[in-house]
Structure 1
Amino acid sequence: MKKSNYSYIGIAFIILLFGIIFVPKIVDRIKNKDVTRDGSRSFDVSKETFTKVASDLEYLVINGNRKKVPEFSFIDQNGKTITNKDYLGKVYIVEFFFTTCPTICPRMNRNLVSIQDKLKDLNEFKDFGVASFSIMPETDTPEVLKTYADNYGVENPNWHMLTGKSKYEVYDLSNVGFNIFVDTENFEHSGDFALVDKQGYLRSRKDNFGNPKIFYKGIISEQEKIDEDGNEQEITMLVEDIKSLLKE
């Protein structure tokens, strides 16, 4: 017999064996409705079939570890104790300011209010927040912060204006915890915002060199577009990145 005939016989034997072993199992699965088709699969939202979409935002990595928000405990404008755990499950912005600041703080908080208003109509609005830490806790009491919040139009219940016992704990939190410059001795601070995801990790876009930006410029408004030094506004960018993290 020719070799080709042996090949045909071998193939036929394999097909017969497959039919004997697997066809009954396939028929049984079809009867039990265990077989689905990927091409036209329907999704049941009530059973949470949809998967979360991971964003491409970077983590801040230090010594090989993703940097997470440190533990903190402060009093907000309503006299309530707020800790880092209250923000878990929320995407939030962090700023450092003080209520009597006449220069960059009003601009920063107007920009934060504009972000608040842009996100107001989203279904995920309840999962967005702001943590505004005062660098002058001696004078920025909860009552003072409450008046300040009302004057600026703070409506988000997850926007907490926070005051502590000592300016030194604020110094450590800002410079070490969030990598945002604050000099509590001279009442100086940057106008930058940090962005935190739902799990409490610091996140941001990449810069032109492929590294995490770490923070976002909070002083320049969308209307201004660019400042006198040629720096472009990053509020639009920040809103886009908040929306991205809300979907994770």
Structure 2
Amino acid sequence: MIKNRHNTISLFLVLVFGFVLFFIGTDGFSAFTAETARVKQLIDDKPKFPEVTLEDNKGRKYSISEFEDKYVFITFLYTSCTTVCPELEYNMAQVYDKVPSKYLGEDIVFLSISFDPERDDPATLNKYKDFFNSDGETWRMARISDQAELKSLLDRFGVIVIPDEYGNFAHNSAFYLVDKKGSLINVLDYKEIDEAAKTVINLLENGTEE
């Protein structure tokens, strides 16, 4: 009887200890996965958009300062993708459509950035944008030709891109929201369209994401 009680107490202590370790290790259960933890860290760190040269669908070249005093809603893609990228951009189009038109181009710009600059030249991006009714102005598509600059942006924003031998890429996908000073302030689930649109609209109307 005493032995059973000791076993029960020992088991209880092991469970409690494991529970505490899990709580600490997952930052209070807010990070059940590595991806969730990564996103949480990005939002906490608020990295700055680095100095890179964007070349958009019209062949114009500029830095992120082109969008000074505007929020920037960003996706990362490559146009040869036949899996997640079309869904990502289609969902971005739905968020774009939910934002009141008075804010588009004035207070916020949508920007899709290709991480396949060799194939995604301005002409290709200009053609690709038409599949999603992007106007090329308030929603632009761009590439970063310099590989070192591209890598600096992907690394800073936690975008994982792994090429394969067939010219495709394994990559993570999300909506990235940059504030008017060029800092990343949120990473949103690209499948949660209504939630992403609500976050953007609240930010535009009230200056907060709540």
TM-score (norm 2): 0.69
CA 201–166 in structure 1, closer or farther in 2 if over 3 Å, else same:
closer
CA distance in 1, matches of 2:163, 2:58: 24
Q: Is the 8 A contact 2:90 2:132 kept in 1?
A: yes
Larger radius of gyration: 1
| Alignment deviations for residues 90-110 of structure 1 (CA, whole Å, 9 cap, x no partner) | 112121111110000000000
The alignment status of 1:146 with 2:126, answered yes or no, reads yes
Consecutive unaligned residues in structure 1, runs of 5 or more:
1-58, 205-214, 221-233
Q: Is the 8 A contact 2:189 2:196 kept in 1?
A: no
Q: Which amino acid aligns with 2:175?
A: F
Could you say which residue in structure 1 is the equivalent of 2:36? none
CA 166–183 in structure 1, closer or farther in 2 if over 3 Å, else same:
farther
Could you say which residue in structure 2 is the equivalent of 1:112? 92
| Alignment deviations for residues 108-154 of structure 1 (CA, whole Å, 9 cap, x no partner) | 000111111111x3422222212211111111110000000112210
1:191 to 173, 180, 189: 173
The alignment status of 1:78 with 2:50, answered yes or no, reads no
CA 154–198 in structure 1, closer or farther in 2 if over 3 Å, else same:
same
1:201 to 172, 183, 188: 183
CA distance in 2, matches of 1:203, 1:163: 22
The alpha-carbon deviation at position 156 of structure 1 amounts to 6.0
Moved more, 86-95 or 183-192: 183-192
The alpha-carbon deviation at position 177 of structure 1 amounts to 2.2
1:60 to 7, 24, 43: 43
Q: Which amino acid aligns with 1:216?
A: L
TM-score (norm 1): 0.59
Q: Is the 8 A contact 1:168 1:184 kept in 2?
A: no
Could you say which residue in structure 1 is the equivalent of 2:201? 243
* Larger helix proportion of the pair: 2
Could you say which residue in structure 2 is the equivalent of 1:55? none
2:72 to 79, 88, 92: 92
Q: Which amino acid aligns with 2:76?
A: F
Could you say which residue in structure 2 is the equivalent of 1:28? none
CA 245–199 in structure 1, closer or farther in 2 if over 3 Å, else same:
farther
Q: Is the 8 A contact 1:171 1:184 kept in 2?
A: no
CA 243–140 in structure 1, closer or farther in 2 if over 3 Å, else same:
same
Q: Is the 8 A contact 2:129 2:136 kept in 1?
A: no
Secondary structure in structure 1 of the residue aligned to 2:120: coil
CA 168–183 in structure 1, closer or farther in 2 if over 3 Å, else same:
farther
Q: Which amino acid aligns with 2:160?
A: F
Q: Which amino acid aligns with 1:125?
A: L
The alpha-carbon deviation at position 169 of structure 1 amounts to 3.1
Moved more, 148-157 or 160-169: 160-169
Among all aligned residue pairs of Structure 1 and Structure 2, give the percentage whose two residues are the same amino acid: 28
Tell me the matched-pair count.
162
